[in-house]
Amino acid sequence: MAFADGELRGEELDRFQARLASEPGLVREVSEYLALQLIARQMAPREPADYEWDRLREDIAHQAGERLSWLLFTGAVLGLIVTGVIGIANSELETLPKTFALGAILGLGLLLLMTLRARLRVLPYDPYRKVER
């Protein structure tokens, strides 16, 4: 792929860049090619510990422990946030500060969602996440 290898010049490069701007499928193809190039230049052999990591990841007890811990943690954090919001909503604060506090929490939550959306949108085009070490 001449574009990814930096071999396109002048008019050819402009034409290809114009196609990239309008063809998401082509952008994905270029990203996949770049990811392959990245993997190809990381040819270091696996280390002995990697095999033990693999075995650990396949271990049912380990998987269950990990899932349970994440479930407990994220559930509790979400619960705390919801409890906090309800607490503020039911508090004896005056209407204006209460509105500002709830607005700030809602705004932050919305901002997080939008940031997450943007990240998920560009994730398939980020070849560097395939780099291991």
Partner 1 sequence: MIVVTTETVVGRTIESSLGLVRGTTVRSRHVFKDIRAAMKNLVGGEVEEYTKLVAETREQALDRMIAEARARGADAVVGFRFATSEVARAAAEVVAYGTAVRLDGKSAGTGTS
Q: Are 31 and 125 in contact (CB under 8 A)?
A: yes
DSSP string, 30-69: HHHHHHHHHHHH--PPPPHHHHHHHHHHH-HHHHHHHHHH
For partner 1, the closer CB: 89 or 113: 113
Residues 30-89, interacting with partner 1 (CB under 8 A): 34, 38, 41, 70, 73
6 near partner 1 (CB under 8 A): yes
Choices 25-33, 78-86, 90-98, 123-131; region in contact with partner 1 by CB under 8 A: 123-131
132 near partner 1 (CB under 8 A): yes
For partner 1, the closer CB: 54 or 99: 54
The distance of closest approach from Cβ of residue 133 to partner 1 in the complex, given in angstroms and rounded to an integer, is 5
For partner 1, the closer CB: 50 or 103: 50
What are the phi and psi torsion angles at 132 (to 5°)? -100, -45
